Amino acid sequence: MNIVRNFPAVSILLCLFAGIISSGLKKKMAGYVNTVLISIVGLLSISTLFYVLSTGEAFVYVMGKFPAPWGNEIRAGVLEAFMALFFCIIMLLSLFGGRKKLTDEVEEGKTFLYYVLMDLLLASLLALVYTNDLFTAYVFVEINTIAACGLIMIRQNGRTIEAAARYMIMSLLGSGLLLMGLCMLYDLTGHLLMSNIKEQVAFVYASGEYRIPLLVTIALLSVGLAIKSALFPFHAWLPDAYGYSTVSSAAVLSSLVSKGYIFLLIKIIYRVIGFEIFYESRIVDALFAFGLMGMIFGSISAIRENDIRRMIAFSSVAQIGYIYMGIGMGTQAGMEASIFHILSHAATKSLLFVAAIGLTDVSGGSRQFIELTGSGYRNKWAGVAFTVGSLSMVGVPLFSGFVSKLLFAQAAVQNDIKMLPALIVLGISTILNAIYFMKTVIRIYTPLEDSKYGSITFKNMKLYVAALVCFIILNVALGVSSQPIVDLIGQGLAMFS
Amino acid sequence: MYYIILSILFPILTGLYLLVRKEIKDRKRLLTITGIFLVISGALVILALCMAGNGIFTLFNLTERLPVLFRIDEVSVVFSVMTVIIFLCAGFYSFVYMKHEEKEKRYYGYYLMVLGVLIALCFAGNLITFYLFFELLTLSSMPLVLHNGSREAIMAGLKYLFYSLSGAYMSLFGVYFVERYGNTLTFSPGGVISAQAAAEHGGILLIVCFAMLIGFGVKAGMFPMHAWLPAAHPVAPAPASAVLSAVIVKAGVLAIVRVVYYIFGASFLRGSWVQNAWMVLTLITVFMGSMLAYREPVLKKRLAYSTVSQLSYILFGLAVMNEGSVTGGLLHVLCHGFIKTALFLCAGAIIFMTGKTKVSELRGIGKEMPFLMWCYTIVSLGLIGIPPTGGFISKWYLAEGALASGIPGFNWIGPVILLISALLTAGYLLPLTIQGFFPGADFDYSALKKKEPPLLMTVPVLILTVLSVGIGLFPQVFINYLSQIVEKII
Amino acid sequence: MGANLFSNYGEAVAMILFGIGFGNLLLQSNLIKKIIGLNIMDTAIYLFLAEKGYIENRVAPIVVDGVQSMEAYINPIPSGLVLTGIVVSVSVSALMLSITIRLYQRYHTLDLDEISIRLKKEGL
């Protein structure tokens, strides 16, 4: 057995251990441990990715000595390894970008806890990505929720605690539904491992019995995960949670936590229920419809917002709508587009959050638009980065957002019924995106005559600028050389079944 | 091959360089640098035109089926040569004009970038490349509109942005369909829609084509998406409004040429409802633009409305789709480009020297700057279409083509509207000449001073005037070249 | 339908309880009542699982009298799942309670909507 086969399990365990060890470490050390941990996990994911690419098929790692129908398994394919790698990159960059802010906003004695939570979050994300067992997935969903809640709350003020409470309540509703769905699925099939469930589901479906329970199960699973990933109209907690938590938390929450749930949903679609059966239930149409509504209402709320952080948060609602629209399209191409959008949105949204904090910092800490006037000149790097992020969100060619819109539209024209609504809403939402992002860009580049704030130079924050530059490179790379990544996604989806 | 990419990248990169580098204290140095960059850019384009031949240059693949590629054909030659001439004239002109504006470095930076993007548009070899640079054009030219940073400019800039983005999205909508039903996205004379696809999906393709016409028509100021143009063009500094009004809007025309003749094909569209609807829209625009210009008191705004009207002359020619009209349309691209630049530069020179913007304030201006006003008068005659200027030739071809087209209704209503609009053109352009040279008996001549603008302003205007008259004096040279294009695409 | 419902009354009760818990968690504005709803919801799921795992006249799969036939025993996995679920629900409830305490200390109320209104007034 090749040693690489141990890597997925090892990386999950490493994260858990690092979390435990960090809780006994000093603030600085915990930070170092976290950085090293994320880098190691990234390297492990790269080697897993190359291994899977070279063998050409996914492998299964059996936890303990229990064989297939009883034991717990980990399964790594191209897409899983790639997602793990991508999550590591985004998390590392978000932490670098927000490090300075973190020391300002979190109580001195509690910073190490932040890294503990990050370690746990990474562990749960990796587990969600890799696991082949539904109940394990549920347990890690809950760990993920708890860690995310801590990340929101660690900056102590009334808003964040309230946001954390709302986030918790919504998440618990979602995971309640998810757990119910799991139990019913177990009831129907008698298995917990994804591959076994899929066989049984196909069998049950072919027999023609239990149609309604199966439908209810699919609905429970999808709605549960949709609630957790803040699909419209379950997004009420999101603007406060993203808007007031410390910046790394906001970046990580918007680009990783919700995406982890979406990835789990995609896995359930492919590996548990089966692509065809999932699409023959009409649940996808509901997801599609809510996705479309999210695209519009998220953007409209963002336009009405006067606070830059909350505006970006509302834009996340719209972007999650895009992803669900792709899933709801019911084609392989739509799914590929959705997964690509997961990547491009993660790269762009965390860039925007990190850049926005740089802009507010040079505007006396205020996040109101009126105060941001001219901030693009005071903090040049953040201004450029914010502009790049906005252009990508609007879907200007050469940036990642354009490619995902292109893929969505290409997927849409393949589906004759959903083509028109998808394209029209895509168009409207593009224009709405343009309205609020361009408004902001123009605002930050409108010169302010009496400069009452000092400007920030490169020397002040090397790490921050480095993170921004990496984000920009990531964004342009996704936009320019999208084809290899789309191929990779296609290959990964093929490995799912 | 690499000349193409060099000619595109050089202005863009030098523009970026100007944008990011530190403020240049010495104004002379800034102007020298910019001047050298402009001249080299122009030379590179000419070099690319001479050397590149008919080869295809693929830059990279956006996705598997969508390469970003460039190719030079006759249409590229026409548009790129015009672009370069106008950019050089307006560029040197702005060396004087921009003296009283702030943020000169930024202005030149974006100016160069816009030049590069326009050249890329001219050389684009397929629809996706074209779309890509079309978006970049909007973004890089917006700072020119926003330049003075006033509230009015910002509102105009936003208007420009939203109209353009909505339009570009409508076109992108079409690109998806063309990609699905067409053979390829590469521009090929006569279209890429196979007969089979046309028969099976004719209805939807026509809708798509119409959407693309409206979408790209935004840039060309076609009714119903024209409202941004009179708002955005006048707020920019005069040389910038000149290039906006003379060249950047031509990107919309180029887009429509490419879409209609190189993607859908004239034979697919001829006689369809799209052609009729398109002609109706252009005729409405021609008439409406002239009327609005006639009623507008501010000179620069008046010229902007005139652009709306004149561009639809071109689009009408393209819509009629026969040899004469298309030749006339393409020739009018050149005429209008040179004339409108000259007009805006004149208006700019008047503002620069006197600070007056309204036509009614400009009595006796011909006595103050006679040379400039002579140029103004000559190019105005050209725009109206009085021989021997170029405008006469192009409008002649347009009208003749429309008459010969045999499309019931349009074959006479078209020429009539063109004629009425020409009269209106005379009505809104010539009052300045008349008031300027013949201010009337009660006018106080003693207050007048000689105010001829500096040489760097008058020479570009003169060059453009000579060019616009030159087209009228030697039309055969141009007609022969254009007929090469027309033969291929009709 | 009716007969099915009657023979599976345990599951039916679990579902009703789940609905009650879900509704409470979603609709109550008092945080403590929300947490009670959460616990009702979770317990309902455990009831559902337990009901699924239990088969009449069989015992837990612990071999004491040498009987190894499958017919004699129930399926132990649902019970295992219930245990895991309880652990998760306890930790989640604890976290929720701690958030509640924090909020109560700051705002001296348990009403989430009122807290939101006050936050808006604070205008942070």
The predicted structure's pLDDT at residue C45: 92
Q: Do C84 and A173 touch (CB under 8 A)?
A: no
- What band does A450 get if pLDDT is binned at 50, 70 and 90? low
Q: Is B196 exposed, middle or buried (0-12, 13-18, 19+ CB in 10 A)?
A: exposed
Q: Cβ separation of B63 and A486 shorter than 8 Å?
A: yes
Lowest mean pLDDT among A210-224, A345-359, B17-31, B329-343: B17-31
pLDDT exceeds cutoff 90 at A82: yes
Tokens describing residue B377: 């008068």
Q: How far apart are CA A131 and CA A134, in angstroms?
A: 8
Tens-digit pLDDT profile for residues B4-60:
888 889 999 999 888 888 777 788 888 888 899 999 999 998 888 888 777 777 777
CB atoms inside a 10 Å sphere around CB A112: 21
Is A400:A343 a contact under the CB 8 Å cutoff? yes
Closest CA to A22 of A98, A157, A117: A117
Identify the band that residue A451 occupies on the pLDDT scale cut at 50, 70 and 90.
low
pLDDT at B58: 79
Percent of chain A residues past pLDDT 90, beyond the cut: 40
pLDDT at B354 over 90: no
Residues with Cβ within 8 Å of residue A158, at least 6 apart in sequence:
C106, C107, C115, C118, C119, C122, C124
Average pLDDT over residues B399-421: 86
Q: Give residue B125's pLDDT.
A: 86
Is chain C in touch with chain A: ≥3 Cβ pairs within 8 A? yes
- In angstroms, the Cα distances linking B362 to A78, A171, B240, B368, B478 are 73, 71, 22, 10, 36
pLDDT value of residue B146: 85
Beta strands in B131-176, from DSSP E residues, in sequence order: none
- The partner residue sitting opposite A413, judged by closest CB among B139, B146, B180, is B180
* CB-based contact, A159 to chain B, within 8 Å: no
pLDDT of residue A452: 65
Q: Is the peptide bond before A447 cis (omega within 30 degrees of 0)?
A: no
The arithmetic mean of pLDDT across residues A336-363, rounded, is 91
Q: Cα B171 vs. chain centroid, distance in angstroms?
A: 19
Of the candidates B379, B386, B224, the residue with the CA atom closest to the CA atom of residue B289: B224
A376, amino acid identity? G
CB neighbours of residue A444 within 10 Å = 27
All residues of chain C having their beta carbon less than 8 Å from the beta carbon of residue A145 are 92
Could you tell me the CA-to-CA distances from B146 to A87, B233, B234, B349 in Å, in that order?
39, 10, 11, 20
Tell me if there are at least 3 CB pairs under 8 Å linking chains B and C: no
pLDDT at position B105, please? 86
Instruction: Give the range among B21-25, B320-324, B418-422 with minimum mean pLDDT.
Output: B21-25
Share of chain B above pLDDT 90, in %: 27
Write down the mean pLDDT value for chain A: 88
pLDDT score for A288: 92
pLDDT digits (tens, 9 = 90+) for B227-239: 888 888 888 888 8
Residues from chain C contacting residue A159 (CB–CB below 8 Å)? 119, 124
- The per-residue pLDDT for A325 is 93
Lowest-confidence segment of A60-69, B56-65, B200-209, C100-109 by average pLDDT: B56-65
Q: How far is A482 from chain B (nearest CA, A)?
A: 6
Lookup result for tokens 């005729």: B283
Task: Name the band, by pLDDT with cuts 50, 70 and 90, for residue B148.
Answer: confident
User: What's the mean pLDDT in A97-123?
Assistant: 86
A152 close to C (CB below 8 A): no
Q: Give the pLDDT score at A219.
A: 93
Q: Work out the average pLDDT over A394-405.
A: 86
Is residue B69 within 8 Å of residue B24, measured between CB atoms?
no
Banded pLDDT at B332 (limits 50, 70, 90): very high
- pLDDT grade for A449, boundaries at 50, 70 and 90: low
Over residues C84-110, the pLDDT tens digits come to 999 999 999 999 999 999 999 988 888
Give start and end residues of each alpha helix (H) in A154-307.
158-189, 194-207, 211-228, 238-244, 247-252, 258-267, 275-280, 283-304
If you average pLDDT over residues A133-157, what whole number do you get?
A: 90
Are A447 and A76 in contact by the 8 Å Cβ rule? The answer is no
Query: Using CB atoms and an 8 Å cut-off, which of residues 107-146 of chain A contact chain C?
Result: 135, 138-139, 142, 145-146
The residue among A170, A177, A183 with the most chain C CBs within 10 A of its CB, best to mutate, is: A183
Q: Is B19 on the interface with A (CB under 8 A)?
A: no
Q: Distance (Å, rounded) from C-alpha B411 to C-alpha B325?
A: 11
Residue B150 has pLDDT above 90, yes or no: no
Q: Which residues from A are below 8 Å from C106, CB to CB?
A: 158, 161
Residues of B in contact with A394 (CB under 8 A): 165
pLDDT band at C1 (very low <50, low <70, confident <90, very high): low
Instruction: Specify the pLDDT at position C2.
Output: 64
Q: Does B177 touch chain A (CB under 8 A)?
A: yes
Residues of B in contact with A409 (CB under 8 A): 172-173, 176
Give the DSSP H/E element, type plus range, for residue B184.
none
Q: Do C107 and A158 touch (CB under 8 A)?
A: yes
Q: What is the enclosing helix (H) or strand (E) of C75?
A: none
Q: Given CB atoms, is A481 within the 8 Å cutoff of chain B? A: yes
Cα C64 to chain center, whole Å? 33
B187 dihedral zone (left: phi>0; alpha: psi -120 to 50; beta): beta
Are residues B154 and A442, on separate chains, in Cβ contact within 8 Å?
Answer: yes
> Is the per-residue pLDDT at B407 higher than 90?
no
Binding partners of B (≥3 Cβ pairs within 8 A): A
Query: A192-223 pLDDT, tens per residue?
Result: 888 889 989 999 888 888 888 899 999 999 99
Decide: helix, strand or coil at residue B58. strand
Give the β-pairing of B56-63 and A59-63: unpaired
Q: Is C47 on the interface with A (CB under 8 A)?
A: no
Read off the pLDDT of each residue in A320-326 and give the average, rounded to a whole number.
93
Task: Judge whether residue A409 has pLDDT over 80.
Answer: yes
* Rounded average pLDDT over B167-196: 83
> Burial code of B96-123, b = ≥16 C-beta within 10 A, e = fewer?
bbbeeeeebbebbbbbbbbbbbbbbbbb
From A162, A177, A180, residue closest to C116, measured CB to CB:
A162
Q: What is the DSSP string of A313-326?
A: HHHHHHHHHHHHHH
Please report, rounded to a whole number, the percentage of residues in chain A having pLDDT higher than 70. 97
> Which residues face A60 on adjacent strands?
A75
Distance between A406 CA and the closest CA of chain B, angstroms: 8
Structure tokens that stand for A16 in this block: 């858990």
Q: What pLDDT is stored for residue A458 in this prediction? A: 58
ipTM: 0.93
C partners (3+ CB pairs within 8 A) are: A
Least-confidence region, from B81-90, B261-270, B402-411: B402-411
Please give the residue that has the higher pLDDT: either A480 or A225: A225
pLDDT at B440 over 80: no
Interface residue A406 vs chain B (CB under 8 A): yes
For residue A366, pLDDT over 90 is answered with no
pLDDT(A176) > 90: yes
Residue appearing with tokens 């019924």: A417
* CA distance, residue C5 to nearest chain A CA (Å): 13
Answer yes or no: do B177 and A439 touch at CB < 8 A.
no
pLDDT of residue A119: 92
Q: Out of A385-389, B48-52, C52-56, C63-67, which region has the weakest mean confidence (pLDDT)?
A: C63-67
Backbone angles phi, psi at A106, to 5 degrees: -105, 140
Contact (Cβ atoms closer than 8 angstroms) between residue B74 and residue B148: no
Tally C-beta pairs within 8 A across A and C: 85
DSSP code, position B263: I
Q: Nearest-CA residue of chain A relative to B180?
A: A413
Confidence of residue A5 (pLDDT cuts 50, 70, 90): confident
Kindly identify which residue of chain A lies nearest to residue B142, measuring between CA atoms: A442
Answer yes or no: pTM beyond 0.80.
yes
Give the Cα separation of A53 and A44 in Å (integer).
14
Q: How far apart are CA C38 and CA C89, in angstroms?
A: 9
Is B60's CB within 8 Å of A403's CB?
A: no
Q: What is the mean pLDDT of residues B207-224?
A: 89
Q: What percent of chain C has pLDDT over 70?
A: 96
CB–CB contact B173 A423 (8 Å) = yes
Mutual orientation of helices B249-257 and B104-123 as an angle, nearest 10°? Answer: 10
Q: What is the mean pLDDT of residues B73-95?
A: 91
Question: Is the Cβ of B110 closer than 8 Å to some Cβ of chain A?
Answer: no
A12 contacts A130 by C-beta, under 8 angstroms: yes
> One-letter amino acid identity for B266?
A
Cα dihedral A293, A296, A299, A305, rounded to 10, equals -80
pLDDT score at B169: 82
B64 reaches A (C-beta below 8 A):
yes
- Kindly tell me if the per-residue pLDDT of C44 is higher than 90: yes
Query: In the structure, what pLDDT confidence band is assigned to residue B3 with cuts at 50, 70 and 90?
Result: confident
Q: Give the pLDDT mean for B186-190.
A: 85
What mean pLDDT, rounded, does chain B reach?
87
Query: Is A365 near chain C, with CB under 8 Å?
Result: no
Dist. CA A447–CA B150, nearest whole Å: 10
Non-local (6+) Cβ contacts of A148 within 8 A are A121, A167, A171, A253, A257
A393 within 8 A of A350, measured Cβ to Cβ: no
User: Please, which pLDDT band fits residue B83 given cuts at 50, 70 and 90?
Assistant: very high
Task: Say if the Cβ atoms of A146 and C52 lie within 8 Å.
Answer: no
A464 has pLDDT over 70: yes
pLDDT at A48: 92
Q: Which of A312, A143, A333 is nearest to A244 (CA)?
A: A312
- Average the pLDDT over B445-461 and give the result: 80
The confidence score (pLDDT) of residue A456 equals 62
The helix or strand, by DSSP H or E, that contains position B358, with its residue range, turns out to be none
CB contact at 8 A, A172 and C92: yes
CB B315 within 8 A of CB B220: yes
Taking the Cβ of residue C55 and every Cβ of chain A, the question of whether any pair is shorter than 8 Å is answered with no
pLDDT score, position B362 = 82
